[in-house]
Each structure stands twice: as C-alpha cells, then as structure tokens.
Amino acid sequence: MSTTAIFGSYVLSHAEGVQSVLRDQWVLLEGGKIAAITSSRPQADQVFDQPGRFVLPGLMNLHNHCFSEQLARTHTEDGNGRKNNQSIVYTILMPLSRRGIEILSREERMAIARLGILQLLKGGATTVMEPFRAGIPEMFDAAAEMGIRFYGAPYLLSTGNAQAGADGVVQYAGDDGAADLAIWKDLHAKWHGHSDGRLQVAMSPHATDTCGPDLLRECARLARDYGVPITTHLAQSAGEVTTIAQRHGGRTPAEYLDWLGLLAPDLLAAHCIASTDDDLRLMAARGATVLNCPRVFARGGTTAAFGRFAAASVRTLIGTDGYNMDLIGEMGAAAMISKLAAGRADVANAPEIIDAVTRNAAAAIGRADLGAIRPGAAADVTVIDLSHPHLQPLHDPRRALVWLANRANVEAVMVDGRLLLAEGRCTEIDEAAVTAAGVAAVRRIWDLPEARAAFNN
C-alpha cells in the first residue's frame, strides 16, 4: 500500500460540526484513505513538503455540464444567442448538444469529455456530478480514464426536442421517456460502482418543463430502489414557472415536484432562481438541496444568490453549471453576488462557502467518507498554494481562498490517493493534446449552419 505525506501550513478541519484551520500539520494518506493528521513528519513513499499550502478535503462540484457548455463558450456572452433575452438552454445548449451527438464520432465525443474533465481537475474539483444527454456515454469512459470521482447523470426527458422559436417561446416535442429510462438502466448496469466505486450513476430527469408526471414518478421510484441521488433543474426561468402553472393547475415547479413525491432529502435541485419564498420554505421542510451556480446567470444579468437560499434554511451547495468549470472562481462569485443581493457584507461568509463544496456537499449525496480531512475518510485532497504574491500577506486562509485565490493557485489534486494534478499540471495526460482534440471536435459543431444561425440571433 503506497503512502503519501502532505505538509499543510494550513489544514481544514472540523470538530463537532465546527470548521477550523489547523496550523503546520502533516496529512498522511495510506492507499485510498486518510490515515492520520500529525504535527510530526511521517515516513511515506511520497512527500510533499512546501510551505504556504492549504490542504482541503477534495472540492465537490455537484452541478456541471462538460459537453453542452463548451459548445457555447465565447459565443453566448454579452447577450449573443438569447432570443428576446431568454435563457440559452433552449436556443443553444439543448439543440446543439443534440446535433453534436448525431454528427460526432465516439472519439470526438470522448475528446470533448476529456477536455471538460481536464478543466474540472485544474479547477480543484475531485468529485463532480455531471448531468448530460444520454447519447454521450463517453463521459463515463473519460472519467474512468482520468481518475476523477464521478456521478454521471444521463438525462431523462419526456420531450427531448425542446427548442425556442424566433419569439423565444419554447416548443416541446418528442416522446423520449421510455427510451431514456432504458438507456439509464443500461448505463447503471455498466458503470455504477465502476473503478472501485469511484464512478456512480445518479438519476437526472432533466427539468420540470421537459419531464411529465409519469416519467418523474418512475424516476423517483427507480432512484429509491437503486439508492442513488436525484438531480434536476428547477425553476431556472420565468418561462418554466409559467409552463408548469399552465399544465398543472397553477402549481409552481417546486409544488409540482412535491405533488409527485420528488421533493425530498435525496433531491439536488439546480438553480431555483424563479422560486418563491414559499417554495424555498417548502424545500427546506422537505430537506431538498439547492445547487447554486451564480456566474452562469450573472453573465445574463440575473441574480442567483447563495445567501437567499441559505437564509431560507435550504441546504445550498455551489456548482459551476459548466461555465468555465472553475469551482474556485464560482465560490468567490457566490459570496460576492450574495452580498450585493442582500446589501450586507456578513452573509455568505468564507466558512459557509467552503462547507458548500466540502462537508455539506458530501452530506447531500450521503457520503460520510468525503468532504473532510480526518482519519478513515477517502484520500480525496485539494491543495491550494497560498504563497503567491496576490495572497500575501495572509491572515485567514479561508478568506484568502474565497476572496483572493483563483484556479491558478490549485497546486495538487488527489482522488483515492492517486495524484491527478501536481504543480498545477495533470500528471497522466498530455494537456495540450487533450485540449487540441477537444477544440477540434467542438469546432465541428460550431461549423454547422444551424449553430451559426443560433449564435447570431
């Protein structure tokens, strides 16, 4: 069993639920577990001994889209691609990812998946939950190959061909629920528990407006039979709220899921920006989790405030939604946007933000072995180099991480004791080759006439 010793000038710790920072400690990893935290230098096969490092539990990004968001990059900022300033979900992301599946080879889809996971690792994430169209099983192959802890969440949709018209109004077509359920079962059989349990399969009905009652009930039943978390998009636009009210007797999206039995402790609901205060109270009462992804909305001029959800006593986590896949940057944005929205400096403080991507994220998916630096926990570790000039002089490493650090400060990433990133570079792949192949595959989609038309609207 290989051993690794990591010196932390600062080590994130919890004692009786209270977060703290230990000074000048060694973290000893044995195989896939954390063996000890000690002030004396331990014997180990591999030693990392640099001053100014902040040793954290592996950061957890439980809402990300590797494939679809790369299709939009540098095309949809500054309002491009938004019909009537609407969401790009049904103008760009869903239609073009669907076409990408149709035209790309398996190796091209794999190239995009590898490029996405490379960015996640360089952003400091050790665990990701990744919802994606069911026609991209290569996401699992790339995760297995590149070593990240992966909760793959292939979409299930009642209406898989949802697309905004020229007026920005979404038209829903298709009847894909049965086919998607069959694909989900096949992927679960193949991948759940793969790579010594590092790969898992989550249940992912796409959204309230693209999933009908029968499909959602069946998703809930299957997820609970298999013991897997459920993730979906909830109240991510005013249009969705209107659609659900028209279809289902005036219910809000949260009330719709509650009516069907999905609003529960195993539900991770992304965005929730169009939720009412009553919706949030209902979610808190049911024990559901909000996945807050502030930057993807901020680029469209919409506030998605971590602090609003947390103040309603809803467990609130932070994900990237694929936008730049930079979890460190997303943490800072969550804090900043919350303070702006509340008009107060004391909301969404650094310890809360860090818990949202460590301890609380682990609790949301029932993983007591993740999200903590303690003996017996999984050897998932993110190391941040705080010695850079923009982080000095340093008083509080947690505030430095949230307010001053960026993804370039990610020094090392380990999953199950395997070193995936060292000195900011992936250890087992050619980053330049992965990037070039991923870019070439994405450009094939960009070259489609329908892509050019969508981007220019």
What are the tens digits of pLDDT across the range 194-237?
Answer: 999 999 999 999 999 999 999 999 999 999 999 999 999 999 99
Q: What is the pLDDT of residue 89?
A: 86
- Domain parsing of the chain, residue ranges: 59-364
Q: What is the pLDDT of residue 6?
A: 98
User: Worst-scoring range by mean pLDDT, 78-82, 367-371, 427-431?
Assistant: 78-82
Q: What is the pLDDT of residue 191?
A: 98
CA distance 151 to 9: 32
CA distance 41 to 105: 50
Q: Which residues contact 413 (CB under 8 A, 6 or more apart)?
A: 58, 121, 124, 125, 126, 381, 382, 383, 419, 420, 421
Is the pLDDT at 159 greater than 90? The verdict is: no
* Amino acid letter for position 36: A
CA distance 82 to 89: 9
Give the class (CATH, top level) of 59-364: alpha beta
